[in-house]
């Protein structure tokens, strides 16, 4: 402020010719030294404040540029890691305009329903391990967990197999599998045995029952390494740390129903960076989002459902969320994958045809979904006993 006054109001800056003339008269007879001194003084009065103003202005501009840059960096950071967790591996930012090639390649199964190593039988959950270039599959009706290397023609049994049973080394109708944070163990929903089981990747004889008596259906892991387990029978989702007896309720838990604090047969769950839990609320034909510590969910897809306005989402089984909050849902009734954008009233189909079928563009009873690090979309094509890879279309 003071600098501005100096510049705008100083007589030296807006010189009045008459006054200057007077001053000149006054000093005319004095030594030329005085004149020189005066000129220097005038110069200083003009130059110094102006310089200070300019420097300050430059500083201000620099600061605001820095602020903007920092903001952009933070925004970018948020966008990049917005929903980063072990479920959303993609490093490609996926937004509401992203497309996938309509014709998929089969990355596991696809050789009919059966128990050979190149077959699957009603697969449910998948876990894509980009680091190890492999996919783990809960091969439900084969009572086993199989691992398919990317590009392989056969799977490898990594848990269960042979006959189903309730011995520790057996599985019965497993519906989901994930790896723990250190990727040392498989965590398996051993659904038919009503238990959550931990299975060493190094030593297939090393199993441990983590939670007995739970009809576990879906599993997720957050960026702290905590597990999220949907308890199908109790219509709730819990967050659970290894070593703890009890989990913490994070969604549902108010009995079976369609109120916002209830769920009805939760299928796939997805956890974002902020530990919000998205639930494919199967019987209610909707996807609910439960933010951390919430006591009820938010209806995120479809946006507006009432008795007059029935849901256009039919029996969602799979749900994943991209970096920009778009929700991808597998619609088991319509055999395609829909994207529900936060600002859209209706979902749009991204892959699959409305007609079920088994060609490369079709799906039959699609289930769980996953992205890989490159943004390719994997769909459990349960009715065709195969896992489909829809390549991201970056053109």
Ligand X SMILES: *[C@@H]1O[C@H](CO)[C@@H](O)[C@H](O)[C@H]1NC(C)=O
**Residue numbers of the site for ligand X (CB under 6 A)?**
107, 135, 150-151, 157, 161-162, 292-293, 304, 306, 308-309, 376, 389, 391
Q: Which residues contact 332 (CB under 8 A, 6 or more apart)?
A: 314, 315, 316, 317, 365, 366, 367
CB-nearer residue toward ligand X: 67 or 156 = 156
Smallest distance from the beta carbon of 335 to ligand X, in angstroms? 21
CB-nearer residue toward ligand X: 58 or 248 = 248
Smallest distance from the beta carbon of 126 to ligand X, in angstroms? 10
Would you call the peptide bond into 302 cis, given omega within 30 degrees of 0 as the criterion? Answer: yes
Answer yes or no: are the C-beta atoms of 316 and 287 closer than 8 Å.
Answer: yes
Smallest distance from the beta carbon of 212 to ligand X, in angstroms? 22
Smallest distance from the beta carbon of 376 to ligand X, in angstroms? 5
CB-nearer residue toward ligand X: 56 or 166 = 166
Locus of tokens 């933010």: 291
CB-nearer residue toward ligand X: 159 or 189 = 159
Smallest distance from the beta carbon of 372 to ligand X, in angstroms? 6
Smallest distance from the beta carbon of 264 to ligand X, in angstroms? 21
Smallest distance from the beta carbon of 113 to ligand X, in angstroms? 20
Centre a 10 Å sphere on the Cβ of residue 63 and count the other Cβ atoms it contains.
Answer: 10
Bridge-partner residues for 239, per DSSP? 228, 248
CB-nearer residue toward ligand X: 97 or 306 = 306
> Which of 147, 145, 144, 143 shows the shortest CA–CA distance to 156?
147
Distance CA(243)–CA(224), nearest Å, equals 15
Smallest distance from the beta carbon of 294 to ligand X, in angstroms? 8
CB-nearer residue toward ligand X: 148 or 232 = 148
CB-nearer residue toward ligand X: 356 or 376 = 376
Distance CA(270)–CA(289), nearest Å, equals 9
Give how far the C-alpha of residue 321 lies from the chain's centroid of Cα atoms, to the nearest Å: 5
In the chain, % helix, strand, coil (3-state, to 5) comes to: 20, 35, 45
Pairing of strands 176-179, 216-221: unpaired
HSE-up (13 A, CA, CB side) for residue 215: 8
CB-nearer residue toward ligand X: 2 or 306 = 306
Query: Helix, strand or coil for residue 130?
Result: coil
Distance CA(45)–CA(27), nearest Å, equals 19
């Amino acid at each position: 402020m003071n600098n501005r006054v100096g510049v705008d109001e100083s007589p030296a800056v807006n010189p009045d010719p008459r006054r200057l003339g007077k001053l000149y008269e006054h000093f005319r007879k004095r030594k030329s030294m005085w004149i020189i001194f005066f000129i220097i003084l005038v110069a200083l009065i003009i130059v110094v404040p102006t310089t200070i103003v300019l420097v300050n202005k430059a500083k201000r501009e620099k600061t605001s540029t820095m602020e903007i840059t920092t903001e952009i960096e933070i925004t970018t950071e948020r966008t990049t890691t917005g929903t980063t967790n072990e479920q959303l591996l993609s490093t490609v930012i996926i937004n509401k305009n992203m497309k996938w090639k309509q014709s998929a390649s089969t990355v596991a199964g696809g050789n009919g329903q059966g128990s050979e190593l190149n077959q699957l039988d009603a697969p449910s959950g998948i876990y894509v391990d980009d680091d190890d270039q492999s996919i783990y599959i809960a091969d439900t009706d084969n009572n086993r967990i199989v691992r398919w290397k990317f590009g392989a023609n056969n799977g490898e049994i990594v848990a269960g197999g042979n006959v189903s049973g309730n011995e520790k080394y057996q599985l019965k109708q497993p519906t989901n599998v994930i790896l723990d944070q250190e990727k040392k163990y498989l965590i398996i929903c051993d659904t038919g045995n009503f238990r959550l089981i931990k299975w060493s990747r190094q030593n297939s004889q090393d199993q441990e029952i983590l939670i007995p008596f739970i009809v576990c259906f879906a599993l997720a892991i957050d960026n702290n390494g905590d597990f999220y387990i949907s308890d199908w029978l109790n219509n709730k989702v819990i967050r659970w740390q290894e070593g703890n007896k009890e989990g913490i309720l994070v969604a549902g838990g108010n009995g079976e129903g369609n109120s916002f604090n209830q769920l009805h047969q939760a299928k796939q769950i997805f956890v974002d960076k902020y530990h919000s839990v998205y639930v494919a609320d199967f019987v209610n034909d909707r996807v609910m989002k439960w933010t951390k510590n919430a006591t009820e969910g938010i209806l995120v897809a479809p946006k507006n459902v009432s008795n007059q306005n029935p849901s256009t989402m039919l029996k969602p089984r799979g749900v994943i969320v991209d970096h920009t909050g778009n929700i991808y849902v597998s619609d088991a009734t319509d055999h395609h994958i829909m994207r529900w954008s936060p600002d859209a009233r209706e979902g749009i189909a991204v892959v699959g045809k409305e007609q079920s079928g088994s060609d490369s563009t079709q799906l039959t009873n699609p289930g769980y979904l996953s992205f890989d690090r490159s943004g390719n979309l994997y769909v459990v094509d349960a009715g065709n006993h195969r896992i489909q890879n829809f390549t991201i279309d970056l053109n």
